[in-house]
Amino acid sequence: MPLDLPPDEAATLRRGEGPAVQIDLIQTMIFHAAVAALRLGVFSALERGPRELGALAGELAVDEANLRALLRLLVTGGYLAEGEDGYERTPAGAWLAGPDDGFGAVLDFWHSLIGGLWQGLEETVRTGKPQRDFYAWLQERPDVLTGFQGVQLRIAEWLEEEVLELAGPPGEPARLLDLGGGHARYSLAYCRRHLGLSATVLDLPEALEPGRAAVEDAGLAERFTFLPGDLRTAEAPGGQDVVLLFNVLHGFPADTARALVGRAAGALRPGGRLIVMETLPDPVGSVREEAFTRGFDLNLIHTQGGRLHPVETIAGWMEAAGCGSVERRDLTRSAAFCLLVADREG
Ligand SMILES: C[S@@+](CC[C@H](N)C(=O)[O-])C[C@H]1O[C@@H](n2cnc3c(N)ncnc32)[C@H](O)[C@@H]1O
């Protein structure tokens, strides 16, 4: 939450009469404090009503004096308020509960990512080469991997209905291939809508576990095949009616992303449909969305050698791979994402 600076104090910083970047430093401290409070259970305790400091410290079994320092920073940061009955959540703080709930899960994951992998950013910019390997790093941290998968799943739950409306398959499909489909939420949605459809999900071995569990829970295991492997090299089954490439291309540099589009198109039968979902490099939304997208792009560049590829570039790769007349379909639920849909010529 932005510090609630009085207008005259903000104006002096805008005029360069003080170090405006100190506000970002303070926001970084507040970000760390908010995540610590999430992990300690501060927000979920206050969800049940205001608490005096001593009662809250007792309930959370934490050091009272240190909790006070944490809470005071969060009051300044706009997440908590101190009233007659003790500490309580502000409307901004009401977005946070536990590290596994709602936006708290998103915050918890990004905290681990930025705290763990953003060191050495200047080297990535200097050398043009990523300094980190996001997926290798995740593999060594099962809790963060679970958090990452949880964030992807939440986004899919939010978008899937509109995705199906905007990008249906051609006719009544029998075979769908979900490249980098991990949690399998999108494949499941297509399979629920098209009863004759079977799906193959190809992803890294550890990424397939949530998908397997979800498909079992849905009672659709017999219609699913899970293929552990590397997208760049694994043998993918051909003759597909639909291939999904959802939120995958941004994890790779342009030459690899282009090759992946070629592999995806190559797995289609003639007349089969390639559907790509990607984050737009320049979403037409709020300042918040634009700023987050720019940070996300830098994160991709630094942690995995990827980037947000322009939509026109991806459409060009699809056409070059034999999928003509690419149609762009924008999601209304989020200005950050768009779909590209094209059928394989043949
Ligand atoms: C951002 S997630 C998108 C997941 C899902 N398609 C969605 O849209 O919600 C990227 C997915 O690509 C997978 N992935 C990344 N690199 C991969 C590789 N080299 N081989 C196979 N899968 C990979 C990840 O494990 C992850 O499941």
203 close to ligand 1 (CB < 6 Angstrom):
yes
User: What does the pLDDT read at residue 9?
Assistant: 93
Decide which of 100 and 256 is more confident.
256
Reply yes or no on whether the pLDDT at 283 is more than 90.
no
152 close to ligand 1 (CB < 6 Angstrom):
yes
- Residue of minimum CA distance from atom 5 in ligand 1: 181
What mean pLDDT is predicted for residues 16-30? 95
104 close to ligand 1 (CB < 6 Angstrom):
no
User: What does the pLDDT read at residue 1?
Assistant: 65
The Å distance, Cα 103 to ligand 1 centre, comes to: 21
Give the pLDDT band of residue 103 (cuts 50, 70, 90).
Answer: confident
Q: Report yes or no: 32 and 69 within 8 Å, Cβ to Cβ.
A: no
251 close to ligand 1 (CB < 6 Angstrom):
yes
What mean pLDDT is predicted for residues 328-342? 93
Q: Domain 159-344 maps to which CATH number in 3.40.50.150, 3.30.56.10, 3.30.413.10, 3.40.605.10?
A: 3.40.50.150
Mean pLDDT value across the chain: 95
Q: What's the Rg (C-alpha) of the chain?
A: 23
User: What does the pLDDT read at residue 132?
Assistant: 85
315 close to ligand 1 (CB < 6 Angstrom):
no
- Residue of minimum CA distance from atom 4 in ligand 1: 181
The Å distance, Cα 137 to ligand 1 centre, comes to: 14
User: What does the pLDDT read at residue 324?
Assistant: 87
Q: Report yes or no: 251 and 310 within 8 Å, Cβ to Cβ.
A: no
User: Which of 36-40, 97-101, 335-339: highest mean pLDDT?
Assistant: 36-40
- Number of Cβ atoms within 10 Å of the Cβ of 243: 26
CATH topology of domain 7-98: Arc Repressor Mutant, subunit A (1.10.10)
Cα–chain center distance at 217: 23
Q: What CA dihedral angle connects 232, 233, 236 and 239, to 10 degrees?
A: 80
Q: What CA dihedral angle connects 191, 197, 198 and 202, to 10 degrees?
A: -60
Q: Report yes or no: 315 and 257 within 8 Å, Cβ to Cβ.
A: no
What mean pLDDT is predicted for residues 54-73? 98
Ligand 1: residue of 176, 201, 203 to mutate (most ligand atoms within 8 A of CB) is 203
Q: Where in the chain is the domain with CATH 3.40.50.150?
A: 159-344
Per this entry, what is the length of the chain? Answer: 346
Q: Where in the chain is the domain with CATH 1.10.10.10?
A: 7-98
207 close to ligand 1 (CB < 6 Angstrom):
yes
User: What does the pLDDT read at residue 3?
Assistant: 81
Reply yes or no on whether the pLDDT at 335 is more than 90.
no
Reply yes or no on whether the pLDDT at 278 is more than 70.
yes
150 close to ligand 1 (CB < 6 Angstrom):
no
182 close to ligand 1 (CB < 6 Angstrom):
yes
Query: What are the residues facing 200 on neighbouring strands?
Result: 177, 225
User: What does the pLDDT read at residue 257?
Assistant: 98
180 close to ligand 1 (CB < 6 Angstrom):
yes
10 close to ligand 1 (CB < 6 Angstrom):
no
pLDDT of 284-319, one tens digit each?
878 998 999 999 999 999 999 999 999 999 999 999
pLDDT of 123-176, one tens digit each?
999 999 998 899 999 999 999 999 999 999 999 999 999 999 999 999 899 999
